[in-house]
Every structure is written in C-alpha cells, then in structure tokens.
Amino acid sequence: METESHSTFLMEFHTQQEKFSSPDELISPIKEVLEKYIGEVKEVYRRCSDQSVSLVLDCAQKSIATVQLKSSGLVLLNIDVGGEDSSVFNQEALKQFEKDVKEKLGVVASKTICPIKRGGPLDRFRYLTSSDERLLEYDVDRVVADVHSPFQHIQILHTINFGNLLVLDDLQNLAESDLVYTETLIQRGKIDYTGKDVLILGAGDGALLWELLKENPNMVTMVEIDETVMKLCSQHLRSACGTALDSTTGPHHRIIVGDCLAELDKLKNENVQFDFVFSDLTDIPLSIKPQNKEWQFLLDVMEKSLSVLKPNGQFLTHGSGVSSVQSLADFELHLKNLEPRVEFKRCQAFVPSFMEDWVFYQVWKMAYE
C-alpha cells in the first residue's frame, strides 16, 4: 500500500509579549485562524513553565498543530497536514494564513518556511544537505537505483534539474549536470596531460577517468574499492562516464578494484611514480575532534600519494563547500604540516547538483634550493 505524503509548515511570529496578560490571549486567536483554514480545532495537550507554554492541537482534515509560546514573545507554530488535504495550504493560502495571524496578534515580524514533505513514495529521497549541513530539497521524480554494497548505500536518483544524481551514504556525489566539477578538478585548459602518467583514487562514477582520457595521457590508473558503484554508474550515469567503465583495461587506462591505501603501498614498493595523483574520495570532515578517523584516512591518502608522485608532479583533490569555512581551514592546516613539505593553491566553482560553490586544491612538493 502506497503511503501518503505529509506536509509540515513551520512558522514563527514575534509578538510584543507585554500586550498579552495570559497565554490564552495568544492561543485563542491562533485557534480561530486555524479553524478558518482547516476546520475544527481541539486542544489535546498543554504544558506550562516559567519560560514557555507548549500545546498540541488536534485539527480536522488529518492535521495536527503544535504551538510554543516563549516568554520573549516568540510564537512557534508547526502545522502537519496529511494526504490530499495538504493542498489546503498552497503558497497563496499560506501567505494569507500568515497575514491573518499577524493581524490577530499584532505581530512585529514573522516568517513562514516552505513545507517539509514526508511519508510519500519519493519524499525520503527529496532532502539532502549542503557541505555545512543546511537542508537542500531536490526535485526527485524517480528512483533509478537504491542498493547497499558491502561498502556503502548507493542511490541514483533522477531529478528534473540535474538529471541522474549519484548519492553515496546520503551525500550527493555527482550528477549528469556536473561536468564543471570534473573540469575544475582536472584544471582543464591549465594543465597539459599529454603523455603523462596519472593515478586516480576513488571517483567510482567514472567521470574523472572519462574526461582525463580526452587529454591524451600515456596511462591513467584508477583505484576504486566499490565495484557496485562502477557498474551502476556505467549503466545510469553514462552521459558523465561515457564508455570509461565498460572495460577495466584499455590502451590508456586500467581500473584496479581494491583499497587505495593498500594499492598506494604496493605502488611505492614497486617504485612506480606518477605525474599526477587525483584523490576523489570522501569529502573533508566538518570538524577535527569528532571525526578523527576520517581525518586520519585523508592524511594517510595524501602522505602516501606524495610518496608515489614525481618530484615535479601534482596532487589534485577536492575540499568542501565554501560555506564550510572551518573545515577548509583545518584541511589547509593539515596541508601546511605535511611531510614532505608542500605548496598549494585553491580555486572554486559552482557545482549545480551541490547547489553551492565547491573548493578544489592543487598541491605540489616544495622545491628546495
């Protein structure tokens, strides 16, 4: 049986608390406006303290409203409307509802947030977050793939704006619209890859391999641990990866299915070196202390990558969104403390499906006189 969608409307109203002698002078007008739009309203719960009054209202049309009155004069109103009745609050009606409450309460300021949708067939795929954990809503109209590999949760979602979108463990990785991500990572037009040996760590979507093969390299070696990601992307993200993932070997590429740290150790022991090493693995963590394991993994990747990099080679990677200021600062501090010592520069580009500017790094070993 298909579940019905619920819409939650979040509102806030700033009142002049001194104008009201009791909570009911605020609550009664709110009930009155709710009844105008939804129907009968019945109070089923109330809790009072010195700082706030909280209540739950059982409303007609499968709706529930919660109201919080703060001693500062702030009123928080949440309305949850289920099924087809959520159409009661279209954008126009919602604005009028807010206006009516403002007039009843003599509100100084107010704000209504667009509805959060839950419970419907596609609603659980609708929301992801930005790099600094702000809510983003996607226009998902179809689930292309939704599987668990031994390593991660893999989803490919079709969106109206971005085409097919690869999501790994609830983090957006790449969409068909995101060529700019790959072109900025490889610094297209600024770096010459002709005849060069390149190592890719991660990038299981195949887009990085596909774009690098257009740059006439000698050989591109790609190491990706999750074969399931590659198989799904070769089927459903083809406009991004082309034919790059159709074969594990070709005249100018080879794909190794394995752990990148183990492969880096093996390459170092075999004295294999590269002109360029790309790390297109996990995003850098938001902070240091709670996520030491993730930071240590990234540090290990960078140090081992430098060990297989030619003296004049470059290590290229992505960072995070520009809004993750502290995360980027932590990453750059790690770069400054790397051994051997390195220099680096950064650039940024707006990535459509990320809905934010993303930061990319070019790193090279420091030259000594």
Higher pLDDT, 4 or 126: 126
pLDDT at 60: 81
Confidence of residue 369 (pLDDT cuts 50, 70, 90): very low
pLDDT at 289: 57
Contact, 160 vs 137, CB < 8 A?
A: no
**Residue (of 148, 158, 246) closest to 206 by Cα position:** 246
Higher pLDDT, 73 or 213: 213
pLDDT at 323: 96
Q: What is the DSSP code string of 232-257?
A: HHHHH-HHHHTTTTS-SEETTEEEEE
Confidence of residue 50 (pLDDT cuts 50, 70, 90): confident
Confidence of residue 16 (pLDDT cuts 50, 70, 90): confident
**35 φ/ψ sector (left φ>0, alpha ψ -120 to 50, else beta):** alpha
Q: What is the DSSP code string of 255-283?
A: EEES-HHHHHHHHHHTT--EEEEEEE-SP
Instruction: State pLDDT tens for residues 255-274.
Output: 999 999 999 999 999 999 99
- CB neighbour list of residue 329: distance below 8 Å, 6 or more residues apart: none
- CB neighbour list of residue 138: distance below 8 Å, 6 or more residues apart: 125, 126, 127, 128, 157, 159, 161, 162, 165
- CB neighbour list of residue 357: distance below 8 Å, 6 or more residues apart: 321, 322, 348, 349, 350, 351
- Is 174 a residue whose pLDDT tops 70? yes
* Mean predicted confidence (pLDDT) in 110-130: 92
**Residue (of 107, 91, 90) closest to 99 by Cα position:** 107
At 125, the amino acid letter reads F
Please say if 280 is a catalytic residue: yes
CA 184 to CA 317: how far, in whole Å? 10
- Is 340 a residue whose pLDDT tops 80? yes
Contact, 152 vs 167, CB < 8 A?
A: no
- Is 288 a residue whose pLDDT tops 60? no
Q: Which pairs from 124-131 meet CB under 8 Å and 24+ separation?
A: 125/155, 125/157, 128/167, 128/170, 128/171, 128/172, 130/321, 130/323, 130/354, 130/355, 130/356, 131/283, 131/286, 131/320, 131/321, 131/323, 131/324, 131/327, 131/354, 131/356, 131/358
pLDDT at 100: 93
Contact, 200 vs 209, CB < 8 A?
A: yes
- Is 316 a residue whose pLDDT tops 80? yes
Torsion of CA 20, 23, 28, 30, to 10 degrees: 90
Contact, 349 vs 180, CB < 8 A?
A: yes
Confidence of residue 296 (pLDDT cuts 50, 70, 90): confident
pLDDT at 295: 83
- Determine what percent of the chain is predicted with pLDDT higher than 90: 76
Contact, 68 vs 53, CB < 8 A?
A: yes
In this structure, the number of other CB atoms found within 10 A of the CB of residue 227 comes to 17
Average pLDDT across the chain, whole number: 92
- DSSP reduced 3-state for 48: strand
End-to-end CA distance of the chain: 72
* Active-site annotation holder among 85, 205, 275, 280: 280
